[in-house]
Every structure is written in structure tokens, then in C-alpha cells.
């Protein structure tokens, strides 16, 4: 069974972005569910072997904190034997196992994973069966609409198979794989999926504001919304969406608030082994739209470690550029 979610707004899995520090911040700001960055099933198996030899668990590789719960781990990879092994390894630690069938990156689709699977009906069915048979934890799915424009309705058949095989929730980003991030997410397709499904549907794609979240829910009837890019360097969006859905208004945040929030983020990163290059990119995102932000970002580019970065951001917060 799916856990109970405290809010209708979820944080999207984003490689290099939805690290354990940002996830925790989003959770603290009211995200109903957070999802790890997508994780290769073969890496899980290889890492677990190494870690076991040193009496450690997979938690050293896929870091998270208890306060994030309910937490979902997203997997990719289509080798059925490896999938079973990987699910057995991560199953005990996570509340939901999410399967990626949306990633458009060529290095993923070339290995018959991510969005490429949308056109592989038989293999997809076997993947769902393997996932559901291997663990008692709920299995969810994240899909795009199809591979190319000509196949943009593949989601219909895949969703039906998913439901029949016991998948418990589907997140739908209604762009095709070949679209990447161009054009718009076609929210009409979310409405269609909701109408043909008996399991919860999470609408995703192009939510930039709390108003967008409400519009998507009203227009499509989706049960939940998932927010990706608008949450980058902006964990406030979850509180804003929750307030807007509940009361029709929400608090605005200033750049000072954003900067404070970045320091909170930085503080949280110290508990985890997040790559410094990723932390730097997060710093860029937290300063997006700030007055003097581009000058600040060029300084951030040259920072070499956390102390450097902290100093640059500290200078910025006392500097008139920002105020």
C-alpha cells in the first residue's frame, strides 16, 4: 500500500539536483513525497558488494535521512535479473520503489532503459512483474507520453499494463522522449490518463507557480502534482503550493530568504557526501533572478571547496550587490 502523503505536491527526481540536502529542505517546506535521483540497478549491485566487504550498507551509496520519509528511490535499467537483485538490496530501506521510463538522455535510452522502454511492451510487462513480485513495497512508475510524435500515445497501453501488473501510482510527464524539454507538456494527456486509470496519477511538467499547480489539478483531475525545475534552488514552492491549494493565497519570499535558504542547504550538505560540483550548481540555482546574480555566479564558478563557496555567499549577503 502507498504511504499517506502529507501534501499533494511532490518533489521530482532530478539527477544532480534532488540530492539528500535539497530533498530534506523540500520535505521541511512541505513536499508530500521526495524521490532520489535515478539510480542504475547495476551500480547498486556493484556498490553493495563493495560495501558489504567493509561491513557497510547501501545507505552509504544512496544517502538519505529519516526525516525525508516517505521516501521513494528511483531505479533504471532493464536487465530482469539485475533488477530483482537491486530491488532486494534497496527494498528494506525505502518506502516506495519508483521505476524510470521517461529519461530521454541518449546514454540511458541506448541501453534500453528510461524512455526507450515505452515502445517495448513485452519487456516492460516483465519488468513490472519482476518489480512487483520481488518486494512488498509499493512500486510506482514515471513515464513520458511516447518516444516520438508519431508514438505520443504509447502511455495508454503502458499505463494499462502497469495497472494490471500491480503498479500503484503513475507519474506522467506528457512530453515525448524525442521532445526532451522543448515545447510544452501536454496537460490534456494527463487528463486522459486520469480518466482511463484506477490508480493515483501524479501530473508533472511545466509547473512554475502555485497557480500552475492548482490549474493542473483542476484541469486534469490528477491526484498529485510533481514539481521539478521550479523547485531548483527554491524549496519554498512546496509551502506556497500547499498554502495556495488550502487558502487561495501564499507567502512571497525575498532574495534574502533565498540566500538564507542556501546557507541552510550548505549546512545540510555537510552531513552527506554530495559532489562539490553539484553543490556549486545548486548555489547557481539559489541565486537565479537575484540582483547582481550573474556577477555572483561567476565568482561561484571559481570556488574550489565548500569553505570558498561559503565565503563567497557570505560576502554576497553582506554586500550591497544583493541588498
Ligand X SMILES: Cc1cc2nc3c(=O)[nH]c(=O)nc-3n(C[C@H](O)[C@H](O)[C@H](O)COP(=O)(O)O)c2cc1C
Distance (Å, rounded) from C-alpha 79 to C-alpha 188?
A: 33
Q: Return the bridge partners of 11, or none.
A: 227
Segment contacting ligand X by CB under 6 A, of 1-9, 125-133, 198-206, 266-274? 198-206
Q: How far is the CB of 114 from ligand X (least distance, A)?
A: 8
Q: Return the HEC string of 241-308.
A: HHHHHHHCCCCCCCHHHHHHHHHHHHHHHCCCCCCHHHHHHHHHHHCCCCCCHHHHHHHHHCCCCHHH
320 in helix, strand or coil?
coil
Distance (Å, rounded) from C-alpha 227 to C-alpha 323?
A: 29
Distance (Å, rounded) from C-alpha 220 to C-alpha 195?
A: 9
Q: How far is the CB of 73 from ligand X (least distance, A)?
A: 11
Query: Binding to ligand X (CB under 6 A): which residues in 91-110?
Result: 100, 102-103
Catalytic residues: 103
Distance (Å, rounded) from C-alpha 174 to C-alpha 142?
A: 11
Distance (Å, rounded) from C-alpha 10 to C-alpha 34?
A: 6
| 232 to 271: interface string for ligand X, x by CB under 6 A | ----------------------------------------
Q: Give the phi and the psi of residue 273 in degrees, each rounded to 5.
A: -100, 60
| Owner of C-alpha cell 506556497 | 240
Does residue 138 interact with ligand X by CB under 6 A? Answer: no
Q: Where are the beta strands (DSSP E) in 79-223?
A: 96-101, 139-146, 169-176, 201-204
Near ligand X by CB under 6 A: residue from 137, 142, 152, 258: 142
Query: Binding to ligand X (CB under 6 A): which residues in 59-78?
Result: 74
Q: How far is the CB of 228 from ligand X (least distance, A)?
A: 3
Nearer to ligand X, 233 or 316 (CB): 233
Does residue 214 interact with ligand X by CB under 6 A? Answer: no
Nearer to ligand X, 54 or 182 (CB): 182
Segment contacting ligand X by CB under 6 A, of 46-54, 146-154, 195-203, 205-213? 205-213
Closest-CB residue for ligand X?
228
| 21 to 60: interface string for ligand X, x by CB under 6 A | ----------------xx----------------------
Near ligand X by CB under 6 A: residue from 8, 9, 12, 303: 12
Binding site for ligand X (CB under 6 A): 12-17, 37-38, 74, 100, 102-103, 142, 173, 204-207, 227-230
Amino acid at each position: 500500500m502507498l504511504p499517506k502523503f502529507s501534501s499533494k505536491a511532490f518533489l521530482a527526481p532530478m539527477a544532480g539536483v534532488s540530492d539528500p540536502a535539497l530533498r530534506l529542505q523540500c520535505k521541511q517546506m512541505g513536499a508530500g513525497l521526495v524521490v532520489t535521483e535515478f539510480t542504475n540497478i547495476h551500480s547498486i549491485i556493484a556498490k553493495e558488494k563493495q560495501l558489504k566487504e567493509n561491513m557497510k550498507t547501501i545507505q552509504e551509496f544512496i544517502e538519505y535521512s529519516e526525516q525525508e520519509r516517505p521516501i521513494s528511490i528511483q531505479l533504471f535499467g532493464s536487465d530482469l535479473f539485475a533488477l530483482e537483485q537491486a530491488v532486494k538490496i534497496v527494498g528494506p530501506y525505502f518506502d516506495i520503489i519508483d521505476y524510470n521510463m521517461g529519461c530521454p538522455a541518449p546514454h540511458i535510452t541506448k541501453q534500453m532503459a528510461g524512455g526507450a522502454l515505452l515502445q517495448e511492451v513485452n519487456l516492460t510487462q516483465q519488468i513490472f512483474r519482476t518489480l512487483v513480485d520481488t518486494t512488498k513495497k509499493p512500486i510506482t512508475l514515471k513515464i513520458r507520453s511516447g518516444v516520438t510524435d508519431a508514438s505520443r500515445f504509447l502511455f495508454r497501453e503502458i499505463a494499462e499494463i502497469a495497472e494490471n501488473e500491480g503498479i500503484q501510482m503513475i507519474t506522467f510527464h506528457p512530453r515525448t522522449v524525442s521532445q526532451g524539454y522543448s515545447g510544452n507538456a501536454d496537460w490534456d494527456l494527463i487528463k486522459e490518463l486520469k480518466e482511463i486509470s484506477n490508480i493515483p496519477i501524479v501530473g508533472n511538467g511545466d509547473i512554475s507557480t502555485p497557480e500552475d499547480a492548482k490549474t493542473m489539478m483542476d484541469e486534469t483531475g490528477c491526484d498529485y502534482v510533481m514539481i521539478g525545475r521550479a523547485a531548483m534552488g527554491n524549496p519554498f514552492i512546496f509551502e506556497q503550493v500547499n498554502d495556495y491549494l488550502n487558502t487561495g493565497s501564499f507567502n512571497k519570499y525575498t532574495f534574502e530568504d533565498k540566500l538564507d535558504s542556501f546557507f541552510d542547504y550548505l549546512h545540510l550538505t555537510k552531513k552527506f557526501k554530495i559532489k562539490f560540483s553539484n553543490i556549486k550548481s545548486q548555489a547557481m540555482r539559489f541565486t537565479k533572478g537575484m540582483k547582481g546574480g550573474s556577477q555572483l555566479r561567476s565568482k561561484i564558478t571559481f570556488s574550489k571547496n565548500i569553505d570558498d563557496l561559503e565565503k563567497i555567499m557570505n560576502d554576497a549577503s553582506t554586500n550591497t550587490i544583493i541588498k
